[in-house]
């Protein structure tokens, strides 16, 4: 996306005038990150299996990579001392060195045919690319002067011995796997996976594949949460659907918490008499945070059941997903041992107006388009209801509307790309 980066969402906007019964997005994040105790147990994972895991210890290289001076080009290895004069130089070609082969001492007045990645023969200190050479029989003609080191990749150019190649606390992506392999690692020491249990609360829920009778609705949050958690590298235990009654909810919480590091449930978090989750949490554990001034997603709760963390997310499908991305995701990342847990927002131009200020910080489903002036403009989905999942698959990110903020078309707004939330 390029251009100027904006602060992550905790620093953006204002926490002024948050209604007394709610805490601000910033306060909630600060609180949750302080509560997220990083796992300490580590294990060794083969390099392929390490993908997606969090590195527990910094990795240093024991070797120089490459371990020898080598050619950056297909061409001819020379002694620069032979090519000092400005003008034509003729050298005799006495050896040919492909990548992986070793040459012999390059005598004065000679050149070696050489290919990219091949070690320079002793005596050579420069390479002339083949496009700048003319070959006639055993002779190569080129033009001086050639500086020492020209087209040579010196030993250790990529990675120097003893250099730290991967810091602790990073997630292993393809790039980190390549780096680890480059210094000869077959595997890495990573933090153990987090065990996360999920459940869906609601008498109206049926699973895809079951008959959808009158008044019922398919359980979509289960799959949203499964996907999100697997994407973060968690081991997920699905506890299914829990009925809207106090006893089932309490026993589910106790059982799930006995085995998991974190339990995440959706639905049943509001204040109606059919909402049992928060009350159940109170009875079997402790509610530590409740209600954030965010839209969608206000009735989010955090607490503990013994040593287990608990998140209760609002049941509306958009609220479930967004409250997960905004609050549970950074918490779980920190809990996994990651250092960088907050996404970056970027400034874009509003291709919409938001005339009515709200008391809560709002995250609006949006799409970016390139305007005629080359700037990125955010369009927003016309239906921003927290039940409208269509807005989430249409969107490629979120525009943040600050508390009490309005937006006029053409204003700069903060944009949070879904790609920042992988």
In the complex, which residues of this chain contact ligand AMP (CB under 6 A)? 200-202, 204-205, 217, 219-222, 266-270, 275, 314-317
Residue number, 285 or 314, with CB nearest to ligand AMP: 314
Stretch that binds Mg ion, among 117-125, 196-204, 253-261, 350-358 (CB under 5 A): 196-204
Is residue 361 within 8 Å of 401, Cβ to Cβ? yes
Q: Rule CB under 5 A: say whether 299 interacts with Mg ion.
A: no
Q: Rule CB under 5 A: say whether 314 interacts with Mg ion.
A: no
Strands 110-114 and 262-266: unpaired
The entry of Mg ion, ligand AMP, none near residue 205 (CB within 5 to 8 angstroms by kind) is ligand AMP
User: 263: number of CA atoms within 13 Å, CB side?
Assistant: 29
Ranked by CB distance to ligand AMP, the top (closest) residue is 315
SS3 state of residue 195: strand
Q: Mention every residue, 6+ apart, whose C-beta is less than 8 A from residue 395.
A: 365, 366, 367, 381, 418
Residue number, 9 or 311, with CB nearest to ligand AMP: 311
Q: Write out the H or E segment, with its range, that includes residue 334.
A: helix 329-335
SS3 state of residue 79: coil
d(CA 91, CA 83): 9
d(CA 192, CA 197): 16
Residue number, 167 or 385, with CB nearest to ligand AMP: 385
Smallest gap from Cβ 277 to ligand AMP, in A, equals 8
Tell which positions 250-289 bind Mg ion, by CB under 5 A: 267-268
d(CA 417, CA 411): 18
CA of 404: how far to CAs of 13, 99, 347, 390, in Å?
A: 9, 64, 19, 26
Is residue 287 within 8 Å of 303, Cβ to Cβ? yes
Smallest gap from Cβ 202 to Mg ion, in A, equals 4
Number of residues this chain uses to bind Mg ion (CB under 5 A): 3
Q: Rule CB under 5 A: say whether 202 interacts with Mg ion.
A: yes
CA of 313: how far to CAs of 207, 227, 266, 292, 416, in Å?
A: 19, 16, 5, 11, 21
The entry of Mg ion, ligand AMP, none near residue 156 (CB within 5 to 8 angstroms by kind) is none
Residue number, 17 or 245, with CB nearest to Mg ion: 245
CB-count burial class (<10 Å; 0-12, 13-18, 19+) for 38: middle
Smallest gap from Cβ 99 to ligand AMP, in A, equals 56
Residue number, 174 or 271, with CB nearest to ligand AMP: 271
Residue number, 24 or 221, with CB nearest to Mg ion: 221
d(CA 127, CA 194): 52
Smallest gap from Cβ 284 to ligand AMP, in A, equals 19
Smallest gap from Cβ 390 to ligand AMP, in A, equals 14
Stretch that binds Mg ion, among 11-19, 145-153, 195-203, 300-308 (CB under 5 A): 195-203
Stretch that binds Mg ion, among 73-81, 194-202, 293-301, 364-372 (CB under 5 A): 194-202
The entry of ligand AMP, Mg ion, none near residue 233 (CB within 5 to 8 angstroms by kind) is none
Interface residues with Mg ion (CB under 5 A) are: 202, 267-268
């Amino acid at each position: 996306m390029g251009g100027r980066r904006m602060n992550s969402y905790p620093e953006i906007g204002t926490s002024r005038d948050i209604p007394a019964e709610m805490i601000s997005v910033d306060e909630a994040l600060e609180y949750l990150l302080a509560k997220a105790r990083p796992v300490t147990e580590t294990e060794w994972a083969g390099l392929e299996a390490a993908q997606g895991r969090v590195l527990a210890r910094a990795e240093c290289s024991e070797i120089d990579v490459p371990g020898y001076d080598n050619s950056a080009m297909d061409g001819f290895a020379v002694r620069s001392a032979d090519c000092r004069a400005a003008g034509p130089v003729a050298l005799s070609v006495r050896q040919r060195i492909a990548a992986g082969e070793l040459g012999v001492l390059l005598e004065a007045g000679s050149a070696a045919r050489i290919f990219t990645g091949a070690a320079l023969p002793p005596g050579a200190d420069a390479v002339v690319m083949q496009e700048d050479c003319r070959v006639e029989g055993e002779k190569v003609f080129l033009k001086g002067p050639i500086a020492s080191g020209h087209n040579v990749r010196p030993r250790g150019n990529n990675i120097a011995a003893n250099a730290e190649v991967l810091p602790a606390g990073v997630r292993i992506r393809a790039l980190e796997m390549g780096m680890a392999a480059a210094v000869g690692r077959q595997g890495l020491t990573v933090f153990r996976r987090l065990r996360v249990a999920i459940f869906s609360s609601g008498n109206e829920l049926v699973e895809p594949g079951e008959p959808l009778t009158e008044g019922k609705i398919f359980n979509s949050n289960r799959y949203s949460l499964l996907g999100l958690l697997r994407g973060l590298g968690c081991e997920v235990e699905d506890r299914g659907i829990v009925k809207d009654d106090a006893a089932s909810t309490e026993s589910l919480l106790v059982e799930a918490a006995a085995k998991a590091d974190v339990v995440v449930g959706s639905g049943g978090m509001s204040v109606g008499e059919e909402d049992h989750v928060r009350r159940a949490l109170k009875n079997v554990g402790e509610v530590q945070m409740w209600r954030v001034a965010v839209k969608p997603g206000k009735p989010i709760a955090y607490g503990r059941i013994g040593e287990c963390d608990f998140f209760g997310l609002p049941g509306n499908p958009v609220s479930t997903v967004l409250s997960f991305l905004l609050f549970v995701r950074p918490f779980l990342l920190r809990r996994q041992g990651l250092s960088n847990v907050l996404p970056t927002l970027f400034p874009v131009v509003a291709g919409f107006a938001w005339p009515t200020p709200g008391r809560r910080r709002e995250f609006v489903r949006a799409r970016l388009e390139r305007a005629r002036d080359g700037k990125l403009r955010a369009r927003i989905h016309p239906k921003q209801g927290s039940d409208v999942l269509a807005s989430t698959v249409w969107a490629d990110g979120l525009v943040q509307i600050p508390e009490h903020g309005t937006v006029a078309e053409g204003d700069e707004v903060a944009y949070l790309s879904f790609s920042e939330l992988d």
